[in-house]
Amino acid sequence: MENKINVVIVSDCVDVAYNEMRRKILNECEKLGNYNVNVEPLVPTKEFSIINGAFLTRLMAEVYPPGTIFMVILNPSKERPARIFGETLSGHIFEGANTGTLNWLIKDLGLKSLYEIKDPGFFPFGGKYVHAPTVAKISSGVPFEEYGDKRYSDFLVDFPIEDGTVVQIDNFGLMKIYGKAPQYEDEKKLRIYINGKESIEGIYTKRMMSHDDNVWALYPGSSLDMLELGKVRCKTGANELGIKIGDKITWETI
Spatial separation of the C-alpha atoms in residues 130 and 126, rounded to whole Å? 5
The strand pairing partners of 216, in sequence order, are 231
Spatial separation of the C-alpha atoms in residues 24 and 48, rounded to whole Å? 23
Spatial separation of the C-alpha atoms in residues 138 and 8, rounded to whole Å? 13
Tell me the domains of the chain and their CATH numbers: 5-155 (3.40.50.10790), 166-253 (2.40.30.90)
* DSSP reduced 3-state for 107: helix
Mean pLDDT per block of 10 residues along the chain (254 residues) reads: 88 98 98 98 98 98 98 93 97 98 98 96 91 98 98 97 97 95 88 94 94 96 95 96 97 93
Q: Which amino acid is at 144?
A: F
The strand pairing partners of 227, in sequence order, are 177, 220
Residue 1's pLDDT is 46
Report DSSP letters for 159-211, one per residue. ----TTBEEEE-TT--EEEEEEPP-PPTTEEEEEEETTEEEEEEEE-S-GGGS
What's this model's pTM, rounded to 2 decimal places? 0.95
